[in-house]
Structure 1
Amino acid sequence: MKKSILFAALAVTASLAIWASVTYPRVGGEVLHLASSIETKIYGLHRAEVNISDSRMMSWQGGPQEAKETVVMIHGYSSEKTVWMRFASHFTDSYRVLILDLPGHGETAFDPALQYDTVSQARRVVEAMDALNIKRAHIIGNSMGGFIAAQLALHHAERVQSAVLIDAAGVVAPQESDMAKMLASGRNPFEIHNRDEFIEFYAMTMAQPPYLPKMILDYMADDYIVRRESLTRIFQDFHNSDFLDARLSEIHVPVLILWGERDRLLHISSAAVWQSGIANAELITYSNLGHMPMLEAPSQSAEDVLTFLAKHP
């Protein structure tokens, strides 16, 4: 009888442990999505689908539809629209705002038949603008999104009122970043196999990350693990895009460069390459921030961008 009770107790304990391991990160995801939903409503953003030729892109949109100027925000590789949420709240009073989930990211599905190089992604941004009857916009991009913003400024200048490049990929850095050293050794920090690897990677993305409870970080880690194969394919397309060093002088739209000096993914030395290559480009750096200033210091970085946009109506 005692053995039966013991075995039953062990079985219940094991079942609870399995249930907890499965549901715990899922709860973290639900908490994250609920919090994002509440915040976006507070900030005047709403979720909307944008249909283009090869994708059904999810977005957040906000601000007055009759606004004279529009701001389009483009996330980086492996990221999604949520990174812009608090930053975007500073724009919705005066600007129409469009925040996209690029194909293969966030709520926009990955399709192995698509190309994910920055020229192709830039074309999709233009198609999204067409679908929403946006003739011109201020384009703000972070990391890969900055590379895409620069491609838009280069190939679709008539659609770009100004471009803001935040820790942008797309040029050869004079000095190697921590990520560049890892890639040279044969390891891609974005390819996550377990939660410990994610924590190591997450520490590289920001110097001043917003607080997130462990269950949300574990949910994010599991999501990276599930998406590893698709992210690897996207990275290959994106990373094999031709860099823009030799073509920077062809960019003639107003450009603002923002950079966190503690960026471990893309070295701060890249900022000078962008600035010296693009005529009249402005540069602002943040000594205490990393790769994602718009997420680490949304109010400060938004104020700097708003000041820049005011000069280029």
Structure 2
Amino acid sequence: MTRPTIIAIHGNGGGAFRFARVEPFFSETSPVGFTALTLPGFGGTPRDTQCVTLSDYAAHIQQFVTHIDAPRILLGHGIGGSLVLEYLQHFAPSVAGVILHAPVGARLDTRWFPRLMSSETVRELGKRMLASALLRPLWKRLFFSQPVPDEFLNRFFAEYGTCEAFGQMFELITAEWFAALKPVTLPSVLLWGARERVLRLDQAAEFRAKLPAATMEIVNDWDHFPMVEQPEAYAHKLMQLASKLTAERAATAR
């Protein structure tokens, strides 16, 4: 059987670069392949005027996915998890399984940050503040608890400033959207760090309702960005999960 390939979908504010520290641990001889895409409007790419709904973004992902040999595993981090959920509403048969890593979608009507970002003015201000070189030492302390090369973090935060789709995500990913999602039965993993500070672990039950076949994987020493802070461990965990999901999919197809 062809080895599985993980297709990574980034969170808000950045692009495929967020997985740059993970990619070196995958090779042509590793049991699992890896690739990441940058969605339009992220990572310095122009916003696509045709992407006006989440289903439009899902269709864009599908165009990328179809160029990758099966079996395929979709990985979504943060809002990337939201986009994977939307993708499954339309194109679930195209993938062998999914990994949702601290996804966005649950409790959007009660969590303070999404409510704060309901204002376009606040969204634009927030984006500029996250990209600010002057405030970067503060964001480094809040986002990361382990050493990360400065050159990587400088680009990580600078990408917020060039993210044309940053505010749009808060308009499209809503409590109403999440409530309307139909459950999809597919080999799935809900991946969380036990030290997660951005998207709390207790939200997992809401996502399990959308993915009834999902199992839970909690890693003790991970925060929100292990692909940045612990890239080797993150790569090995992804390989393990992708192999597991592929085997589950093959078993159900017999």
Same fold (TM over 0.5): yes
- For 1:173 and 1:156, how far apart are their aligned partners in 2? 25
Which structure has more relative contact order (CA 8 Å, sep 6+)? It is: 2
Counterparts in 2 of 1:176 and 1:207: CA distance versus 1, 3 Å: farther
**Per-residue displacement from partner, 1:212-247 (whole Å, max 9, x unpaired)?**
33x76556555534x26x244433444348533453
Moved more, 156-165 or 166-175: 166-175
The offset of 1:97, in angstroms, is 2.8
Deviations 1:59-96 (A, max 9, x none): xxxxxxx9442221111111111221333344432334
1:168 aligned onto 2:103: yes
Q: Please give the per-residue CA displacement for 1:259-286, whole angstroms capped at 9, x wherever unaligned.
A: 1233333222222322354223111223
TM-aligned CA distance change 1:261 to 1:82, over 3 Å: same
Cα deviation, 1:139-170, whole Å, max 9, x if unaligned, reads: 01111111112222232111110000011112
Aligned CA-pair RMSD: 3.3
Q: Which runs of 5+ in 2 are unaligned?
A: 247-254
Structure 1: 5+ residue runs without aligned partners? 1-65
Alpha-carbon distance change, 301 to 161 in structure 1, aligned in 2, over 3 angstroms: same
- Show the counterpart of 2:54: 118
Q: Within 5 Å, give how 1:237-276 maps onto structure 2.
A: 237-240=171-174, 242-245=176-179, 247=181, 250-276=183-209
Instruction: Give 1 or 2 for the bigger CA radius of gyration.
Output: 1
Task: Quote the Cα distance in structure 1 between the aligned partners of 2:5 and 2:16.
Answer: 16
Matched, 1:305 2:238: yes
Q: Which amino acid aligns with 2:133?
A: R
Task: Please give the alpha-carbon distance, in whole angstroms, between the structure 2 residues aligned to 1:276 and 1:164.
Answer: 15
Asked whether the equivalents of residues 192 and 198 of structure 1 are also in contact (C-alpha less than 8 Å), the reply is no
1:107-130 Cα shifts (integer Å, max 9, x gaps)? 53224x232543222211111123
* Among candidates 129, 146, 155, match of residue 81 of structure 2: 146
Give the TM-score, by structure 2 length: 0.76
1:280 aligns with 2:198: no
Residues 87 and 298, structure 1, Cα contact 8 Å, conserved in 2: yes
TM-score of the aligned structures, taking structure 1 as reference length: 0.64
- Select between 119-128 and 198-207 the one with higher mean Cα deviation: 198-207
More deviation, 268-277/98-107: 268-277
2:143 is equivalent to residue 205 of structure 1: yes
Using the alignment, how far apart are the partners of 1:196 and 1:243 within structure 2? 36
AA in 2 matched with 1:239 = I
